[in-house]
């Protein structure tokens, strides 16, 4: 794909690209927005260095790609409800995204994408991994594709947030989505089940559902589908939540890692 204003450098053949030639804190031209969207569609997750994003700049960047969504599980910043803090330090008992997941897949309309900005990172560790759900689907045999294509699954976050925040009396989202979704822009098929959120395949008996989910959860961890990002202060990652899953490593305790995330509204998977 030809780019006129961006310098797009793929990191693996299947997923991930570093982007140069743009200042994300400034208003972007239509051309830059269109090329960023093209790069995201082509590479599924795009990375930027040295972008000290303000909250306003972060929100403006997200809004070029859709409405900003508020998180159904955790509160946003008091003055910026669309921005969620991602923070871990010596007092942390857990970190966000410690298991493979697609953000807020339990929502009726899961987000189209997320933009994570890190201002403080540990001297070593704290990488994030993304796995391509196009690659995961494509790697299944024709027989397995035919089997999983018509299935639907429950995505639920109640078990997660009730354990993390037992003092909060709240019912969190629980929704049914196809096991294989069609990307609304690229029209490619991708797997849409995750270890963190998917609890049951509806059309199968319980032990069958467990066996298939266990297989798919292991399958998406194949290193051949992945890109791993080493954060620096003021790095930004922008991922397409519809066709990727990600995993935040927590190998840096008791060091501090801190940043902010916005999510961009999506639509009902089909
Ligand atoms: C998340 O959005 O799941 C957190 C990712 C990260 O902290 O790297």
Residues 159-206 pLDDT 10s: 877 777 778 778 888 999 999 999 999 999 999 999 989 999 999 999
Proportion of the chain above pLDDT 70, given as a percent: 100
- Would the pLDDT of 70 be above 90? no
Query: Which residue numbers are catalytic?
Result: 101, 103, 246, 261
Task: For residue 41, give the nearest of 237, 180, 239 by alpha carbon.
Answer: 239
If one residue of 86, 115, 235 were mutated to test the ligand 1 pocket, choosing by the most ligand atoms within 8 A of its CB, it would be 86
pLDDT of residue 259: 97
pLDDT confidence of 126, banded at 50, 70, 90? very high
CA 69 to ligand 1 center in whole angstroms: 16
Q: List the domains of the chain with CATH numbers.
A: 7-264 (3.60.130.10)
- Would the pLDDT of 152 be above 80? yes
pLDDT of residue 84: 95
As for ligand 1, residues whose beta carbon falls within 6 Å of it are 86, 96-97, 103, 114, 116, 128, 246, 248, 261
Q: Whose CA is nearest to atom 2 of ligand 1?
A: 97
Q: Sign of torsion, CA 17 213 107 178?
A: positive
pLDDT of residue 104: 92
């Amino acid at each position: 794909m030809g780019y006129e204003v961006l310098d797009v450098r793929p990191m693996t053949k299947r997923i991930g690209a570093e982007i140069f030639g743009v200042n994300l804190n400034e208003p972007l031209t239509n051309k830059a927005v269109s090329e960023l969207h093209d790069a995201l569609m082509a590479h599924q997750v795009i990375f930027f260095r040295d972008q000290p994003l303000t909250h306003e700049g972060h929100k403006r960047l997200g809004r070029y790609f859709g409405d900003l969504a508020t998180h159904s599980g955790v509160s946003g910043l008091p003055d910026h409800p669309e921005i969620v803090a991602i923070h871990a330090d010596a007092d942390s008992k857990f970190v966000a995204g410690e298991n493979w997941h697609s953000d807020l897949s339990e929502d009726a309309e899961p987000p189209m994408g997320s933009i994570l900005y890190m201002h403080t990172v540990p001297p070593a560790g704290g990488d994030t991994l993304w796995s391509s759900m196009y690659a995961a689907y494509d790697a299944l045999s024709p027989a397995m594709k035919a089997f999983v294509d018509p299935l639907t699954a429950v995505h639920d976050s109640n078990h997660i947030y009730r354990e993390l925040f037992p003092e909060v009396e709240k019912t969190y989202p629980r929704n049914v989505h196809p096991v294989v979704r069609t990307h609304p822009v690229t029209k490619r098929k991708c797997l849409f089940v995750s270890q963190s959120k998917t609890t049951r395949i509806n059309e199968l008996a319980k032990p069958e559902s467990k066996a298939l989910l266990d297989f798919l959860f292991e399958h998406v961890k194949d290193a051949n589908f992945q890109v791993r990002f080493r954060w620096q202060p003021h790095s930004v990652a922008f991922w397409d939540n519809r066709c990727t899953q990600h995993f935040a490593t927590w190998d840096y305790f008791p060091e501090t890692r801190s940043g902010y995330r916005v999510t961009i509204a999506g639509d009902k998977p089909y």
